[in-house]
Structure 1
């Protein structure tokens, strides 16, 4: 059972997250300082660094954890498991890893997504993470699917990540609920797995 100390830490982290995203939206990412975020959350700047390594890590905090979760799913490929089923399990693993107060909290994620697109520093960070993560996932796929060549594995990872991200973003922009966004992600993966020809089916 979660103790008082853990709950307090979760509340502080949440306060810092919400303050950072609000200030980024109001002032812009570049004009917002760590001291500003800490003050808005009513904590000392050193407290900020107990939770986040930098301003940008507010928006990319668990990127490494998500990559690790996907790599674990790949490494644990079931005997004879098709690629499409494994990719679907990767998605479900990511969904299952989202806590109630995760940094990808649904209410904040549309604003967060807009900031990443609008701010060059954040966009560069997101692209860097993508370029670092996807080749590692592709390499891991090649290890458990010997029939896959590196280019095909890269295409599979790119299709999976792109379909998941864009389908979910479109659902958010249309005002969809959290369930709608998750359903959109699943639909995106379905299209990626079955190929664009699946869109021609009634």
Structure 2
């Protein structure tokens, strides 16, 4: 695993350990089952101690979503550093496009397993929904700054919720993780296309609610 630009050796080692724990956990969950796998077994498979595991993850649910945590860190950076002429929704689209293009085979295998785990374990589905909530809070804060007090005070939160709904519909830990869902399998969806469709509706709603933002 190569170090990221500007990343020191210590940070690179920590990231490698975090990824090793995640990969070991997912392999064990796939082979043995989620409930049947212990934290100690994950740690041994990753070559670290159980104490080290808890230095990186608070629960077994958390280790499943290590990929999402890394992606959300990237979203935080992109929202903070977005150019003055780029709005929040465009930034979200570029973020989603980027993360879906990185390691598509690995993403596909991960998401298929997460979908299966979320269907079987409510705690995993709930953890995924909390990750979506994090996205919503980030977007709402960025939109509030972008709107600058124009429009209704709740407009940033409502706009963020609409955008997150599109992301949720295309992710394995959103509504598709509900047993008995008759929706298309997540793998048959195009999250960027879904988001583009949602953004077109959201922009129209924003312009209708606050023409000065159009």
Q: TM-score, normalised by structure 2?
A: 0.63
Please tell me the root mean square deviation across aligned C-alpha atoms, in Å: 4.0
The residue that corresponds to 1:187 in the other structure is 193
Contact 2:62 2:127 in 1 (8 A): no
- The Cα shift of 1:2 comes to 3.6
1:54 maps onto 2:56 in alignment: no
- The Cα shift of 1:58 comes to 0.9
Q: Where does the alignment leave 5 or more consecutive residues of structure 1 unmatched?
A: 175-180
Say if 1:154 and 1:139 are closer, same or farther in 2 by CA, change over 3 A. same
The residue that corresponds to 1:18 in the other structure is 23
The residue that corresponds to 1:118 in the other structure is 120
Query: Which residue among 162, 166, 170 is the counterpart of 1:167?
Result: 170
Q: How does 1:104-143 map to 2 (within 5 A)?
A: 105-143=107-145
- The Cα shift of 1:149 comes to 2.9
Say if 1:101 and 1:15 are closer, same or farther in 2 by CA, change over 3 A. farther
Query: In the aligned structure 1, how far is the partner of 2:99 from the partner of 2:187?
Result: 23
Contact 2:40 2:50 in 1 (8 A): yes
Query: In the aligned structure 2, how far is the partner of 1:77 from the partner of 1:105?
Result: 25
- The Cα shift of 1:20 comes to 1.2
Say if 1:128 and 1:107 are closer, same or farther in 2 by CA, change over 3 A. closer
Q: TM-score, normalised by structure 1?
A: 0.66
Query: In the aligned structure 2, how far is the partner of 1:46 from the partner of 1:71?
Result: 29
- The Cα shift of 1:165 comes to 3.4
- The Cα shift of 1:94 comes to 4.6
Q: How far does the alpha carbon of each residue in 1:129-164 deviate from its partner, in whole angstroms, 9 at most, with x for none?
A: 433541342133112113343433223222222212
Query: Which residue among 135, 139, 149 is the counterpart of 2:152?
Result: 149
Q: Where does the alignment leave 5 or more consecutive residues of structure 2 unmatched?
A: 4-8, 173-183, 205-214
Q: Which range moved further: 47-56 or 63-72?
A: 63-72
Q: How far does the alpha carbon of each residue in 1:52-73 deviate from its partner, in whole angstroms, 9 at most, with x for none?
A: 3432221233555544543444
Say if 1:194 and 1:121 are closer, same or farther in 2 by CA, change over 3 A. same
